[in-house]
Amino acid sequence: MKVGQIEKNPILALSTSEKDIKKYERVTKTYGNVVPAIVGQSGDAYRILSGQARLEACAHNGIQEIPVTIAEISDEAEQMKLALLLSTMREESGSLSEGAFIDALVTQHGITRRELMSLLKKSKSWISKRQSMALKLSEEVKGMVKDGAICARTAEEIAKLPKEVQVAFACKVGRDGLNKTNVGRLVNLYTQGDAGDALRKAILQTPLSVLDADVATTRVPRQNGKRGIAERISGGAGFLIRLACELKGLLATADVQDLNMVREDLKSLRIAIVDLCVVLDGGVSPGKQTGGVAV
């Protein structure tokens, strides 16, 4: 089927990162799309149900036609159920898409959670947590999940916090390498009715100190060794790149009055970028091995 005949799926796009697309670009550039995409008919066109990253990679590489498997179902709810089921079977996490599919099926198509439990062979808790991610996570934190800066299980806990504090807390979680258990403990402390302002501020700013003070909790790194650190660096880099692109677009359209209002913020941003560049140039510059790893 011609690539131009296939519509992207806006729900699958929630979990399709640039990293995923670039990974498939390397494969498709050499071998083409060796795994058929799964599509369903949508009016006069076909919509992707599985394989969105591969589809975009093929389009970027100028591939005109790809092999597809056409799901012989035209009902939108049934197509969503199939896409959701296929997403849960993938090795790559599609948690944001899964949550959005679940919410759409429950709220728009009247599918019960019990039906979804039977279809997916998942618990009621899993269904509820995925749906909460779609409904309660801030867009910025969704971006961090998409880019791999934080994992889905951690994001499920962060979704329980007010949206206005989620980004600050998620950044601290990524910085300190807190695991899901510790994040859950901190979230529970924050959301307790008798939690004071001082405790909540400490949880957002210095979560490790709160854990150290909580004798019932012992911090365990999410993943030991170089692989865990590399994973966090990769996720953080992807998140920063995406934000930088968005910020570049905003700055290009901002007028003088807008820029004057955020002048101090931009000064702080410049300082942070310079500090980061110093670290990059000193430790991980192209071809340099002294003090770091060449990239």
List pLDDT tens digits, range 33-57: 888 999 999 888 899 999 999 999 9
Residues 120 and 163 reside in one and the same domain? no
Distances (CA, A) of 79 to 28, 76, 131, 193, 219: 26, 5, 18, 42, 43
List pLDDT tens digits, range 140-194: 999 999 988 899 999 999 999 999 999 999 999 988 889 899 999 999 999 998 8
126: its two tokens: 């899993």
Residues 99 and 34 reside in one and the same domain? yes
Residues 24 and 128 reside in one and the same domain? yes
Residues 86 and 13 reside in one and the same domain? yes
Instruction: Check: CB of residue 28 under 8 Å from CB of residue 61.
Output: yes
How far apart CA 156 and CA 171 sit, in angstroms, is 15
Residues 130 and 41 reside in one and the same domain? yes
Residues 96 and 220 reside in one and the same domain? no
197: its two tokens: 């302002």
Q: Which helix (H) or strand (E) holds 21?
A: helix 18-31
Domain that holds residue 69: 3-136
Task: Domain count for the chain, please give it.
Answer: 3
How far apart CA 106 and CA 239 sit, in angstroms, is 30
Residues 161 and 63 reside in one and the same domain? no
pTM over 0.85: no
- Predicted local confidence at residue 287, as pLDDT: 47
Instruction: Check: CB of residue 70 under 8 Å from CB of residue 41.
Output: yes
What mean pLDDT is reported for the chain? 86
- Predicted local confidence at residue 138, as pLDDT: 96
Residues 235 and 263 reside in one and the same domain? no
Instruction: Check: CB of residue 284 under 8 Å from CB of residue 293.
Output: yes
Residues 283 and 248 reside in one and the same domain? no
Residues 72 and 130 reside in one and the same domain? yes
List pLDDT tens digits, range 199-255: 999 999 999 999 888 744 444 443 433 336 776 677 677 667 767 877 887 888 888
Q: Which of 115, 136, 157 is the last residue of a domain?
A: 136
Residue environment code for 93-132, b if the CB has 16+ CB neighbours within 10 A, otherwise e: bbbbbbbbbbbbbbeeeebeeeebeeebebeeebbebbbb
Average pLDDT over residues 81-89: 93
Q: Tell me the CATH number at 116.
A: 3.90.1530.30
Q: Which of 76, 102, 136 is the last residue of a domain?
A: 136
